[in-house]
A = this chain, B = another copy of it.
Amino acid sequence: MKVSLSRIIGASLALLCLSTSLQAQHLQKYLRQYDKQLMEEYVQFLSIPNVSTDSVNIRKNAAFIQEMMNRKGIKAELLNGTTTGVTPAVFGEIKTPGATKTIGFYAHYDGQPVNPKQWYAGTDPFKPVLITAPLESGGKIMGPYQAGEPVNPAWRILGRGSADDKAGVMAILNAYEALVKTSQRLNANIKFLFEGEEEVGSIHLNEIFRQHKAKLQADCWIIIDAPRHVSGRKTLIYGVRGDVNMALTVYGPKRPLHSGNYGNWAPNPALKLAQLLASMKDEHGKVLVKGFYDDVTPLTATEKQALAQIPNQDETLKKELGVNAPEVATRSLVESIMQPTLNINGLHSANVGSMASNVIPTKAEAVLDLRLVKGNDFRKQVEKVIAHIKAKGFQVLDREPTEEDRRNYPNLIKIEVEHGYNAQRTPMDLPIAKSIQVAVQSTTKEPLVLIPSMGGSLPLYLFEEILGTKVITVPIVNYDNNQHAENENVKIQYLWEGIETIAAIMQARF
């Protein structure tokens, strides 16, 4: 492309002076008027448990979204897939007279599993409360939001899904409603899609896309997910990493053994697992699995330039996260996420703490998370790791070992590979990508943060491969939202700003 990124940003800053004055006034007035109603609606929504595998409650979420949409004048339907057991996606569509473009908005309403014991004492992941700030930063728990109570945008809503990604559903629907209620015009046809299986790998999105290919056509799908840049600046993301999980179980003796009577005779599976994991990465953060970095597509000049302009927040992050040095000492966060990863999600063998006893455990487990970048194929990446494990002398099983396995092999490992998918990346200099950039820039005085690919994963390759459409991710929530973990929260101000951002995209000029 010829137009440099700085010129695009320059153009968008010029527009800003016009459109913030027009749009922002309407929207800010709307939010001042309706913030209590929005809060009540959101608290109701967050009170419906949404763990992806909780099929009863997950359908209650879909029904709740459908009702919200109908209330806001969007005729909603459930897309149920062609096989049984599909969690429905909720779809809706608004035709705009004279529009030449169609923009789709996607968010997901399911959430990660919860371990309530790990949450702040006295809180429940599905009984949202207000907090003034995270407790570890001196915040306080203010209890549930009471209907009619004034809303303090500096506070946060605590609950599973509050940021990832019911915030997306909430902001998309309210951006549309705000435009309607403030009598503003749309520039494009608008489509809505809310998925309920994102946190389990969007296992049926494929099927739903194939079944409703025509219905889901758009010039660009906007994904409302992930956090805004650490700098707090509004952010556009043009790609995602792919992802695949591997669950490893290394086997020891058939029953837990007294570590005195059998110690240093019976082999210890926790040690074997530690040795195996240690063999996968060197002390400088380099993955030692053969060929791990081989298939990576190099960055384009535009992408390299965009990376160079992302504010480097590494020092702030290091301080906030209590990290002295990154895994690869010489590499910034934004550079790091343009590479494939191998992460240990969790480890477990027998007990630690007050439950620990002097035993040789029967097994040791780890879950690996492989993130993939453009060029990687998830099946091939998994094969590389399995080849590494075999080269370390393990007999690889896809089930518990039999008596015969135990007799024949000194090192037994079960490997379970979960559904994975590849990375996706949209060129940053496409005309539609530029239009969206300009629209978002119009809502803020600060330059946008433009990220060639996020560190996280979404199965966005499906939009390209099946629907043949472009995809851009527009994050709206605070970066310190604890998504996927305990004490997930969203800063209310970010929710309001997300509504403004989305409304601007709905009014984008092409």
A344 at the interface (CB under 8 A from B): yes
Q: Which residues of B contact A115 (CB under 8 A)?
A: 351, 355
Give the Cβ gap from A417 to chain B, nearest Cβ, in Å: 13
Identical copies of this chain, number:
2
A346 touches which one: B227, B265, B324, B351 (CB < 8 A)? B351
Contact between A359 and B406, CB atoms less than 8 A apart: no
Contact between B351 and A321, CB atoms less than 8 A apart: no
A455 touches which one: B253, B258, B357 (CB < 8 A)? B258
Supply 10 further A-B pairs (C-beta < 8 A) apart from A241-B260, A247-B356, A322-B407: A53-B354, A254-B321, A258-B456, A260-B454, A262-B333, A262-B455, A265-B328, A265-B455, A266-B321, A356-B367
Q: Which residue of B has the minimal Cβ distance to A249?
A: B352
Contact between A259 and B325, CB atoms less than 8 A apart: no
A274 touches which one: B278, B357, B361, B485 (CB < 8 A)? B278
Give the Cβ gap from A158 to chain B, nearest Cβ, in Å: 14
Interface residues of A in 454-510 (CB under 8 A from B): 454-457, 479-480, 482-486
Contact between A345 and B259, CB atoms less than 8 A apart: yes
Give the Cβ gap from A52 to chain B, nearest Cβ, in Å: 11
Contact between A326 and B267, CB atoms less than 8 A apart: yes
Contact between B255 and A136, CB atoms less than 8 A apart: yes
A407 touches which one: B324, B352, B357 (CB < 8 A)? B324
A253 touches which one: B53, B323, B365, B409 (CB < 8 A)? B323
A308 at the interface (CB under 8 A from B): no
A337 at the interface (CB under 8 A from B): yes
How many of chain A's residues touch chain B, expressed as a range? 35 or more
With A267-B327, A275-B283, A321-B266 as contacts: A359 and B485 at CB distance below 8 Å: yes
Residues of A with Cβ closer than 8 Å to B? 53, 112-113, 115, 136, 226-227, 241, 243, 245, 247, 251-268, 270-271, 273-275, 277-279, 281, 283, 285, 319-328, 331-333, 336-337, 339, 341-361, 364-367, 369, 371, 401, 403, 406-410, 454-457, 479-480, 482-486
Q: Which residue of B has the minimal Cβ distance to A402?
A: B322
A-B CB proximity, top 7 nearest = A260-B456, A278-B278, A322-B406, A254-B322, A274-B277, A346-B350, A256-B485
Q: Which residues of B contact A339 (CB under 8 A)?
A: 264
Q: Which residue of B has the minimal Cβ distance to A395?
A: B324
Contact between B327 and A403, CB atoms less than 8 A apart: no
Q: Which residue of B has the minimal Cβ distance to A266?
A: B323
Q: Which residue of B has the minimal Cβ distance to A333?
A: B265
With A261-B226, A348-B347, A454-B260 as contacts: A324 and B371 at CB distance below 8 Å: no
CA separation between A356 and B115, bound complex, in Å? 10
CA separation between A408 and B324, bound complex, in Å? 6
Contact between A410 and B455, CB atoms less than 8 A apart: no
Q: Which residue of B has the minimal Cβ distance to A351?
A: B346
Contact between A322 and B401, CB atoms less than 8 A apart: yes
Contact between B259 and A454, CB atoms less than 8 A apart: no
Contact between A353 and B247, CB atoms less than 8 A apart: yes
With A253-B321, A361-B346 as contacts: A270 and B455 at CB distance below 8 Å: no
Give the Cβ gap from A367 to chain B, nearest Cβ, in Å: 4
CA separation between A52 and B320, bound complex, in Å? 42
CA separation between A454 and B356, bound complex, in Å? 22
Contact between A347 and B253, CB atoms less than 8 A apart: no
Contact between B324 and A406, CB atoms less than 8 A apart: yes
Contact between B261 and A285, CB atoms less than 8 A apart: no
- Chosen A-B contacts, 21 in total, with CB atoms closer than 8 Å, are A115-B351, A241-B260, A243-B260, A247-B356, A255-B485, A258-B455, A258-B484, A261-B479, A262-B333, A263-B343, A263-B369, A264-B327, A264-B337, A264-B341, A265-B331, A268-B344, A343-B360, A344-B361, A346-B349, A346-B361, A352-B366
CA separation between A227 and B260, bound complex, in Å? 12
CA separation between A136 and B486, bound complex, in Å? 44
With A273-B274, A327-B267, A369-B259 as contacts: A345 and B354 at CB distance below 8 Å: no
CA separation between A53 and B253, bound complex, in Å? 29
Q: Which residues of B contact A247 (CB under 8 A)?
A: 352-353, 356
Contact between A357 and B113, CB atoms less than 8 A apart: yes
Contact between B257 and A321, CB atoms less than 8 A apart: yes
Contact between B371 and A260, CB atoms less than 8 A apart: yes
CA separation between A270 and B276, bound complex, in Å? 12
Give the Cβ gap from A260 to chain B, nearest Cβ, in Å: 3
CA separation between A255 and B365, bound complex, in Å? 22
Q: Which residue of B has the minimal Cβ distance to A349?
A: B347
CA separation between A408 and B136, bound complex, in Å? 20
Contact between B456 and A227, CB atoms less than 8 A apart: no
Q: Which residues of B contact A349 (CB under 8 A)?
A: 344, 346-348
